[in-house]
Structure 1
Amino acid sequence: MADSAPASADAEDGEAERPDPPDIDLPSDAFDAVLDALDGRDPDEPLRFEGFGVARDDGDREGDAAGTYRLDPADDDPRTGLSERELHEALDERAPAVTDWYAFERVVGEFGPRRAFLRWIEDADGATVATRYAALGEGIERAWGELKVTATITDRGERRYDVRHADDAGVPIDELDAYDDPLDARDLVKLDAKGRYRPLKTAPSLAGGWVFPDLGPRDAYEAVETVYPATVANWHREREGELDVTNWRETMERQSGIYGVVKTWDRGEGYEHVNWVAEACCDDSQCLKRREWEYDDETDLDVDGGDGVFPCREPCSVVVSAARKWTRLESEQPRTYEFELTPSEKEQVEDVIDAVADGRTDEIREADTKEGANRYRTRFLRAKLFDEDGTLGGVPTEPDEDDGE
């Protein structure tokens, strides 16, 4: 996860300082929203912005149908009896704070996953408006899985977002396929770069070559949630201490039909098999989520849950489906097979398994025969060890009926 730092000049004392915030004009819709918020509001409860508050002034409301206003600066030197025009002038001088309030209170809307996510992008709960606006003027970058989200600001204080694959950072927009409807992301996430179907949307196999270059706050959130469904919602629940985790045993106990067989794996077996499942499926190399589910409420798994920014609250359908297959495979009785391998051939078999498990086979060059999983070297091993029926060492998988007699 990367936070951007705008280009900065070196100050005289040697410390880097941020550039000045961009000049912001107070748009009429933001000012109208302030007036609407003050309508009917108790004068003793000002509408708060960073560094000051605004309220209707009780001084002379009967003589002025529109009423007058009061500005309560942080220095406790209030300006009272302001007309609407004077209030507009005062707020225009403080346009960054007003447009920041308007962006989140009116454009983004009520507090929830969307608002928390968009505020997190620009560290709105930790940095001042001036600091954030200076950073937004240069562009704030955040990573979300394989996405790179860049937030910028207009001279009206409006947020704009560029959403693209992280691998396409710095690529000019006209060299990418540009979209403006966040729902177009549904088609972009179906296939990986090789055209293969992606059953797991949080797998690190998102294809690039596209961009949503100019989204508003709501559409930016929608695009991210379309690429990675429910990730922002679960991230927000976790931040609020409300993430509801369903562990392995509870998930398996509710399986039925063809998936009910998974429940038989828990009978007297301990939970070592669940460690194997988690190691196979829930590693950072396979899924961008951070696994938060364990074996049960009292028993943690022995494998790491990953480092993803968004949590995984329960075993997903891919894990359940794989576990069903492994349940059947593990129900087979073990047998002893004897093969003769040289030490180098044994290590090569290990290399092949590792390369396939880690998805590295495409990275191994044909000419690099030092690699155990090299294609030509593996074909040589097959030619040497397989018989004409494709059986390793000529040893059948199923023994003859008279074996052992």
Structure 2
Amino acid sequence: MSDAASAVSDDNHAVPEIDLPNDAFDAVLDALDALDPDEHLRFEGFAVSVDDALDDGPDRYVLDPVGDNARTGLSERDLHAALAERAPVVTDWYVFERVIGEFGPRRAFIRWIEDADGETVATRYAALAEGIERAWGELTITARITDRGERRYDVRHEADAGTPVTDLDAYDDPLDARDLVKLDAKGRYRPLKTAPTLRDGWVFDDLGPKDAYEVVESIYPATVANWHREREGDLDVTHWRETMARQSGIYGVIQTWDRGEGHEHVNWVAEACCDDSQCLKRREWEYDDDTDLDVDGGDGVFPCREPCSVVVSAARKWTRLESEQPRTYEFELTPSEKAQVEDIIDAVADGRIDEIREADTKEGANRYRTRFLRAKLFDDVGNLGGVPTEPDEEDKE
């Protein structure tokens, strides 16, 4: 094996041969020059330093200065050969310390993709050679490694996992992701970027770490940042009551909707808007610091730190609707018709209408069965059971 390539193993994990790029070696030299006396440049399993007594000489490098088998008096050429034998570890250091660089959400996210904080370099490089897949919302992110230790990423919809790149619309500019998230598969505007309505049929292939991060952030804005804050224990959560207290203008009416035993109205809002079927975030906000909601917050990988604009807008509408005084309406339904009304409401609420076939009249929300119910129960002006609604006042919106 030449000095320019390395293949090692960790337990039963065979690591692919990795060349030591000149950029990585130059970065090591720069890092060594920047060290204070008695400091070491640490890698996984070994370290490198400069001999203080020979810091101006040609043979000034020390390999494993803190180990029992320290190699001293190494020239730059000797150091290159030694590091080339350990190319996977050196390139791993180079990727995270120099290519990605700063500590923060991006670095943490890229490390999370390959479990860099939990697995050895050998284990990770063996897995990267095959391709490591991670789920992020509706995305599948695949990380691979080149023969120079560089990371390359494929970002696509989970529905397209395993589909050849040539069968998908391929993009390479992270800014293109902004257009992909605007409309769903039916061409309808997506007001909530974390709704599970991301259309498929596209791929961002062969991206570097920074571009892969930008694609993910463009598709799911701020999700990585909030995920990172949560991991660091710094997630700032703004609960319902505080969020609604700062609403003004047309949204100020929500502040009046703060009544009911156990704040069940907020439970209804959370159940309607914050279920996994409606939003991929995991709700972390509650009613207030001292009062939790009764509704599960979901299982999403990224947290929701406050009621979003969709929730606020919907709550404004419900505030007005719930301010109406209840009335009693009387009309007759057969037991099957009552069950059918319940089926229709469930199907609309769960977004299953398009899944119900026209020929399947056993389904309560079947279109023909629903039209039959309307023909039977509605009068000529659209009143159920012929009973007029007669609201107390007109909707002022």
Taking structure 2 as the reference length, the TM-score comes to 0.94
Using the TM superposition, name which of 276-285 and 32-41 deviates more: 32-41
Confirm or deny that 1:193 pairs with 2:185: yes
Confirm or deny that 1:173 pairs with 2:165: yes
Aligned to 2:256, the other structure's residue is in SS state helix
Confirm or deny that 1:325 pairs with 2:297: no
Q: Using a 3 Å threshold, how does the CA distance of structure 1 residues 175 and 399 change in structure 2: closer, same or farther?
A: closer
Confirm or deny that 1:136 pairs with 2:134: no
Aligned to 1:271, the other structure's residue is in SS state helix
Give 2:33's aligned residue.
Answer: 39
Matched letter for residue 50 of structure 1: E
Deviations 1:128-156 (A, max 9, x none): 00000000000000000000000000000
Give 2:108's aligned residue.
Answer: 116
Matched letter for residue 380 of structure 1: F
CA distance, structure 2, for counterparts of residue 42 and residue 67 of structure 1: 18
Deviations 1:336-387 (A, max 9, x none): 0001000000000000000000000111111111110001000000000001
Give 1:380-395 correspondences, 5 Å limit: 380-395=372-387
Contact 1:231 1:310 in 2 (8 A): yes
CA distance, structure 2, for counterparts of residue 98 and residue 352 of structure 1: 61
Contact 1:250 1:296 in 2 (8 A): yes
Shift of 1:74: 7.6
The answer for unaligned runs of 5 or more in structure 1 is 1-16
Residue in structure 1 matching 2:44, options 50, 65, 69: 50
Matched letter for residue 33 of structure 1: A
CA distance, structure 2, for counterparts of residue 76 and residue 205 of structure 1: 58
Deviations 1:312-335 (A, max 9, x none): 000000000000000000000000
Give 1:210's aligned residue.
Answer: 202
Aligned to 1:152, the other structure's residue is in SS state strand
CA distance, structure 2, for counterparts of residue 263 and residue 390 of structure 1: 34
CA distance, structure 2, for counterparts of residue 222 and residue 76 of structure 1: 45
CA distance, structure 2, for counterparts of residue 188 and residue 132 of structure 1: 31
Shift of 1:127: 0.2
Contact 2:49 2:65 in 1 (8 A): no
Using the TM superposition, name which of 37-46 and 49-58 deviates more: 37-46
Give 1:152's aligned residue.
Answer: 144
For the aligned residues, what is the CA RMSD?
A: 1.5
Aligned to 2:257, the other structure's residue is in SS state helix
Taking structure 1 as the reference length, the TM-score comes to 0.92
Give 1:60's aligned residue.
Answer: 54
Aligned to 2:34, the other structure's residue is in SS state coil
Give 1:348-387 correspondences, 5 Å limit: 348-387=340-379
Give 1:341's aligned residue.
Answer: 333
Contact 1:59 1:81 in 2 (8 A): no
CA distance, structure 1, for counterparts of residue 55 and residue 151 of structure 2: 37
Shift of 1:21: 1.0
CA distance, structure 1, for counterparts of residue 40 and residue 392 of structure 2: 88
Q: Using a 3 Å threshold, how does the CA distance of structure 1 residues 124 and 87 change in structure 2: closer, same or farther?
A: same
Matched letter for residue 252 of structure 1: M
Contact 1:163 1:212 in 2 (8 A): yes
Residue in structure 1 matching 2:217, options 194, 210, 225: 225
Contact 2:377 2:385 in 1 (8 A): yes
Confirm or deny that 1:294 pairs with 2:263: no
Matched letter for residue 306 of structure 2: E
Contact 1:18 1:135 in 2 (8 A): no
Using the TM superposition, name which of 93-102 and 41-50 deviates more: 41-50
Contact 2:13 2:122 in 1 (8 A): no
Give 2:273's aligned residue.
Answer: 281
Shift of 1:76: 2.4
Deviations 1:79-111 (A, max 9, x none): 001000000000000000000000001001111
Confirm or deny that 1:241 pairs with 2:252: no
Residue in structure 2 matching 1:102, options 94, 104, 108: 94
The answer for unaligned runs of 5 or more in structure 2 is 1-10
Confirm or deny that 1:85 pairs with 2:77: yes
Residue in structure 2 matching 1:304, options 271, 296, 302: 296
Matched letter for residue 30 of structure 2: D
CA distance, structure 2, for counterparts of residue 28 and residue 305 of structure 1: 49
Deviations 1:193-230 (A, max 9, x none): 11100000000000000000110000000000000000
Aligned residues: 383
Contact 1:191 1:197 in 2 (8 A): yes
Residue in structure 2 matching 1:22, options 16, 20, 33: 16
Shift of 1:68: 1.2
Contact 2:51 2:60 in 1 (8 A): yes
Shift of 1:400: 10
Deviations 1:3-22 (A, max 9, x none): xxxxxxxxxxxxxx855111
CA distance, structure 2, for counterparts of residue 75 and residue 48 of structure 1: 12
Shift of 1:75: 5.1
